[in-house]
Amino acid sequence: MEETKTKTFRDRIASFVESFGVPRLIIAGFLLALFIAAPFVGADLPTQISNTINRFCWNGILVLAMVPMVHSGCGLNFGLPLGIISGLLGATLSIELGFTGALSFFAAIVISTPFALILGAGYGWLLNKIKGGEMMIATYVGFSSVSFMCMMWLLLPYHSPNMVWGLSGKGLRTTISLEGYYNQALSGFLRIQIGNFSIPTGALLFFAFMAFCMWAFLHTKTGTAMTAVGSNPSFARAAGINVNKIRMLSVIMSTWLGAVGILVYEQGFGFIQLYMAPFYMALPAVSAILIGGASVNKATIMNVIIGTILFQGIVTMTPTVMNNVIHMDMSEVIRIIASQGMILYALTRKSEGGKS
Amino acid sequence: MSNEHTPLLEIRNIKKDFFGNQVLTDINFRLEEGQVLGFCGENGAGKSTLMKILFGMDVIRETGGYEGDILLNGQKVTFNSPFDAIAAGIGMVHQEFSLIPGFTATENILLDREPQKKSVISEIFGNRLNTLDRKEMSVRAEKAIDRMGVRIDPKMVVNEMPVGHKQFTEIARELSKDQLKLLILDEPTAVLTEKEAEALLDSIRGMASRGIAVIFITHRLHEILSVCDNVVVMRDGFVVKDVPAKDTNVEEITRWMVGRSVENAGSDSASVTDAGSDSRETIMKIEKLWVDMPGETVRNVNLEVKKGEILGIGGLAGQGKLGIPNGVMGLYEAGGKVTFDGKEIPLNSPRKCLDASLAFVSEDRRGVGLLLDESLEWNVAFPAMQIQNKFLKNYLGGLIKWRDEKAIHEVTQKYIDELQIRCTSSRQSAKELSGGNQQKVCLAKAFALEPKFLFVSEPTRGIDVGAKALVLNALKKFNRESGVTVVMISSELEELRQVCDRIAIVSGGKIAGILPAASPSEEFGMLMVSNVK
C-alpha cells in the first residue's frame, strides 16, 4: 500500500503504458484523432459513432469465438469459416423451413448447432493430430471448406423463392436479403434512437450475455483445465487431464460461437452472404482480438471487447474520413491495409505472449 | 616422468565456480603424448565442467571464466572458443552426436574442411563457389577410418547407421584433423554394444600407439582398467585419486568415487531402519516393470515399497531410475504390473494413478511440473481441483463447478508459509521464482493432493544448498507426520542416505540391490556399476 502512494505520476503513466501496450495506445490515439477529425471533414459524428457501435455488435461474437481455442493452446482460430458455414447452413435452412421474423433467428441458431458440433468435432480431431502447426492447418481448413461449400450452395436442393436464383429456380444466390426474416432481430430490440445517433440495445445485450457465459465458463473446473492445457500441456497431462478431449471441446465451442457470430452479423447487416464471403471473415476477427492485447496463447474477455472496438472503429472511421479528405473511394483498400497490417503486427508479438 | 620433461598437457590448479557454487577445486594432472587417461566420478563430480574448460566452451566464459592454468607442451594457453581448442590440436567427441543426418559418413567426417576444386565459376565469383573434390574426400575419409582401426562404410548416410557407427563417425571426424594431438571422449561407450565397445577400446589403444593422447570418460570402470595408463577419480569437484591403472581395481575406484566418510551419513535415519522395515506391510508392489522413457529405459524392475517408509532410488544417470516413477505414473509408455494398496493400478493413465491417491513431483520442473505463466495459486491448487474437486463451489446441483478463489488463495498461502516459498504474493507467476522456490511449489502441489503415496524425482536438482535442506526436511516431515509413503529418486547418493530408510540402486534398467541407508558407500558404488550396459 505504501508503495502505490509514493509512486510518482510519471511512474504510473509508465506502468500504464507498459501494461496497455504502446501499439494499442497508438491505435487508440489514432482512433480518437479520427473521431475528432470527422466533423471537420464533413462527416456526421453521431452517425459515425452509431456505425462503430453497430459494427461492434455485429462482430463481437465472432471475435469472442477466438477465446476458447486460444485458451486451450490451439492458437488463433483461422478455421473460423467452418463455424461460419455451420451458421450459414442454419440460416438458409431456417428460411427454407419457413420460419419468419425474429423466430427465424433463433431457429437458425438451433439448426446450425448440430452442424457446428459435427464440423467442430472433425476439425478438433484434425487439430489434435497436428499439434504445433494448428494455425497453418486451420487456415487451410477454412479455405477448403469455403470452396467446398461454394459447390454445395449450388447443388443443395433449396427451393425457397427468396433464396434461389430467379431464372433457373435452383442454387442459392450470393446475397440473400433478410427482410421479413431476422433482419435487425436483435439490433431492433429496445433500440434507442436520438436523431442520427442510435444504440442497438438488443444486440449489445446479446453480446454481453455471450461474453458473460464465456467469462463464467473460464472460471469453472473445465474452463480452468482448458487454460492449463493451453499453458502447459505436459503439466495438464501429469495432472490427469485428457488433453485431447479438452482441446476438442475448445474447438467445438469456437466453431459454435462462429456459427452464432455470423447469424448475429447477418441480423445487423441485413443480408446473408454466401459463396466466398466466409473466406474473409476470420482475419478481421483474428486481428481484432490481437489488437485487444491477446497473444497466441492468452486471451481475456477484455481483450475481445477492447480489440473489437478499436478494430471496428478504425475500419469504420478511416475510410469515411479519408474519403472525405481525398474525395475518392478507397474504403476497401484502406480496410485491407489496416486489418492485414494489424495481423502482421500481432503475430510478430507471438513470443511475448508467454512461451518464454 | 623426469622433471625436465614437459608433458603434452598439464592442468594446474584449475578452479571454477558457477555463481558462488564451487564445482572444481584445485584440479591438477598431466598427460603425456600417447597416454590414455581414464576419468571417472559420479554425476556432478565435475568431469564435464573440466572438459568444457579444456575445450574452451562458451558456457565457461559466460559464467565468469576459470582460475588456474592449462599448459599445452609447456605453453600456457587460453581458449576463447572451441575453434581455438581445435586449432591447438584438441578434439572432442560429445555425448550427444553432432552429425548431419542426411549426409554420408565421408561428408560428415570432412564437413567444412572439404578439399576443393576450382572451376570457371569460382574463378570469377570467388572461392565460395569452389566445387568439392569428392575423390580426395573419400581418400581422406578412408585414411581417418583406417587410423581409427574400426571399419565403417564411408558412403553410408548417417541416419541409416546403427548408433555405434555414428559414434565412430564422430571419432573419425576428429582423427581426420591433421593437427590432432589430444582427443577427449565423453562417455563414448554408453551407447555401444559390447562388441562395438571392444572395438572402440582397441582403436583407443591404436591411437595411443600413434602418439595421440586420449582422455577417456566413462562409467564402465573395467574399460578404464583395460585401456588406460592412468586413472583420475573425481568427487565433488576435487581430484581424489590419480593413480596408474595397473595399480588399482574396480572396488577401489568405486570407493573413491562415492566415498566420503561413511560415518557421518545415514546416522539419523539409522534409528528408523532399526524399526525393521521388513515387518511393515507392503503398500506398493512393482512387478516386471518396463518403461520406454528415452535415455532412462527401465527393463525389468521388481520392487516392494513398505507402508510409511521413505525409499530412495539411486543409480547413475541413464540407468533407468527416472523411468520408474514416470512409468508408474503413466507419463511414459510402460508395461508390467503395479499393485497399490491391494489393487492393481492400470499403467499409461495418469488420471487413474492420481485417483488412487498417488502423487508425483516430476524431475522436469519447468516442462511438466509447473504452469510457468500462471500464478502460484493455480499451480498449487490445479491438480487437487481437477482430481479431487477441491477448491470448487457447486451451483445448480453440481452442474456448474465454480473455482473457489478464496479457498485457493488460502491453501496457497498456507504452503507459502509452511515451505517458506519466497515470492511477492501468491498471485505471482511461477516463472518469476528461483529454481529452489519453484521446486517448493511443485512439492506444495503434491502436498495439496494429500496423497497416500508420493514419488519425488530429483527434488534437489539445480537448487541451492539452503533450499535443498528445506525441501528434504519438508519431505521428511510430510512422511513422518502424515504417514505418507515417499519414494525419492535422486542422483545424489549422499542426499538419499540423509533422508531415506532404504535405498534401491538401479543399474542397467533393473534393481541391482536394496540396502539400508547406513550401509557403507562402497557397497552402493558396487551396485551402481554392477549392470552398467
E-assigned strands of chain A?
Answer: 175-177, 192-194, 197-199, 271-273
What was the pLDDT predicted at B531?
A: 67
What was the pLDDT predicted at B264?
A: 40
Residue with the bigger pLDDT between B159 and A64: it is A64
Say whether pLDDT at B252 is over 70.
yes
Say whether pLDDT at B1 is over 60.
no
What was the pLDDT predicted at A347?
A: 67
Q: Do A234 and B383 touch (CB under 8 A)?
A: no
Chain B residue with the nearest C-alpha to that of A233: B368
What was the pLDDT predicted at A59?
A: 92
Q: What angle do CA B395, B400, B406 make, to 5 degrees?
A: 70
CB B291, CB B326: distance < 8 Å: yes
What was the pLDDT predicted at A350?
A: 53
Those residues of chain A whose CB sits closer than 8 Å to some CB in chain B are 216, 219-225, 227-228, 231-232, 234-235, 237-242, 297-298, 354, 356
Given the cut 0.90, state whether the ipTM is greater than it: no
Task: Please report the residues numbered 347 through 376 in chain B whose beta carbons come closer than 8 angstroms to any beta carbon of chain A.
Answer: 350-351, 353-355, 360, 362, 364, 367-374
Cα separation, B184 vs B52, whole angstroms: 10
Q: B378 and chain A: CB distance < 8 Å anywhere?
A: yes
What was the pLDDT predicted at A86?
A: 94
Distance from CA of A4 to the nearest CA of B (A): 15
How far is CA A304 from each of CA A56, A85, A205, A312, B19, rounded to the nearest angstrom?
10, 22, 15, 12, 45
CB atoms inside a 10 Å sphere around CB A327? 7
Domain B1-89+179-258: CATH superfamily is P-loop containing nucleotide triphosphate hydrolases (3.40.50.300)
Closest by Cα among A68, A59, A24, A19 to A300: A68
Cα separation, A324 vs A320, whole angstroms: 6
**What average pLDDT does this structure show over B366-391?**
88
**Three-state DSSP class for A81?**
helix
Q: Which H or E run contains B393?
A: strand B392-395
pLDDT tens for A74-122 read 888 888 999 999 999 999 999 989 888 888 899 999 999 999 999 999 9
Output the DSSP codes for A291-324: HTT-BTTB--HHHHHHHHHHHHHHHHHHHHHHHH
Number of CB pairs < 8 Å for A and B?
79
CB atoms inside a 10 Å sphere around CB B169? 27
Contacts of A222 in chain B (CB under 8 A): 401
pLDDT tens for B108-154 read 888 878 888 888 887 788 777 788 888 888 888 888 888 777 788 88
Residue with the bigger pLDDT between B106 and B462: it is B106
pLDDT tens for A221-236 read 999 999 999 988 989 9
CB B468, CB B439: distance < 8 Å: no
Output the DSSP codes for A83-118: HHHHHHHHHHHHHHTT--HHHHHHHHHHHHHHHHHH
**Three-state DSSP class for A285?**
helix
Domain boundaries, chain B: 1-89+179-258, 99-177, 261-357+451-533, 371-449
Residue with the bigger pLDDT between B97 and A125: it is A125
Residue with the bigger pLDDT between A22 and B260: it is A22
What was the pLDDT predicted at A353?
A: 40
**What average pLDDT does this structure show over B346-374?**
87
Say whether pLDDT at A175 is over 70.
yes
Confidence of residue A126 (pLDDT cuts 50, 70, 90): very high
Say whether pLDDT at A3 is over 50.
no
Chain B residue with the nearest C-alpha to that of A220: B402
Cross-sheet strand order for the sheet of B182-186: B90-93, B182-186, B213-217, B36-40, B230-235, B238-244
pLDDT tens for A283-316 read 888 888 888 888 777 889 998 999 899 888 888 8
First to last CA, chain A: 30
The CATH number of B261-357+451-533 is which of 3.90.230.10, 3.40.50.620, 3.20.20.300, 3.40.50.300? 3.40.50.300
Per-residue cell: B110: 570432412
What was the pLDDT predicted at A119?
A: 94
Bridge partners, B334 (sequence order): B291
B382: nearest CB among A222, A239, A298? A239
E-assigned strands of B128-260?
Answer: 131-132, 182-186, 213-217, 230-235, 238-244
How far is CA B277 from each of CA B46, B262, B518, rounded to the nearest angstrom?
36, 22, 14
CB A219, CB B392: distance < 8 Å: no
What was the pLDDT predicted at B44?
A: 65
Per-residue cell: A241: 487431464
Distance from CA of B445 to the nearest CA of A (A): 10
Q: Do A237 and B350 touch (CB under 8 A)?
A: yes
Cα separation, B308 vs B310, whole angstroms: 7
Chain B residue with the nearest C-alpha to that of A215: B402
Q: Do B402 and A242 touch (CB under 8 A)?
A: no
pLDDT tens for B167-178 read 888 888 888 887
Cα separation, B496 vs A186, whole angstroms: 68
Give the residue from B362, B372, B391, B438 with the most A CB atoms within 10 Å of its CB, the best one to mutate. B372
Classify the phi-psi angles of B85: left when phi > 0, otherwise alpha if psi is within -120 to 50, otherwise beta: alpha
pLDDT tens for A322-338 read 777 777 777 677 777 77
Residue with the bigger pLDDT between A25 and A110: it is A110
pLDDT tens for B38-69 read 888 776 677 878 888 888 888 787 777 888 88
What was the pLDDT predicted at B278?
A: 55
Q: Do B402 and A231 touch (CB under 8 A)?
A: no
How far is CA B504 from each of CA B186, B267, B282, B289, rounded to the nearest angstrom?
27, 18, 15, 15
Q: Do A232 and B431 touch (CB under 8 A)?
A: no
Distance from CA of B424 to the nearest CA of A (A): 13
CB A336, CB A314: distance < 8 Å: no
- In this predicted structure, which of A190-194, B462-466, B475-479 has the lowest mean pLDDT? B462-466
Say whether pLDDT at A351 is over 50.
no
Domains B1-89+179-258 and B261-357+451-533 alike in fold: yes
Q: Is the pTM of this model over 0.80?
A: no
Pairing mode, strands A197-199 and B310-314 = unpaired
Distance from CA of B459 to the nearest CA of A (A): 17
What was the pLDDT predicted at B69?
A: 87
Say whether pLDDT at B196 is over 70.
yes
Q: B404 and chain A: CB distance < 8 Å anywhere?
A: no
Per-residue cell: A234: 505436459
CB B200, CB B122: distance < 8 Å: no
pLDDT tens for B479-508 read 888 888 999 998 888 888 888 889 999 988
What does the mean pLDDT of chain B come to?
A: 83
What does the mean pLDDT of chain A come to?
A: 85
Say whether pLDDT at B379 is over 80.
yes
Q: Do B351 and A242 touch (CB under 8 A)?
A: yes
Confidence of residue A7 (pLDDT cuts 50, 70, 90): low
Closest by Cα among A209, A203, A200 to A301: A209
Confidence of residue B259 (pLDDT cuts 50, 70, 90): low
Cα separation, B279 vs B247, whole angstroms: 45
What was the pLDDT predicted at B272?
A: 43
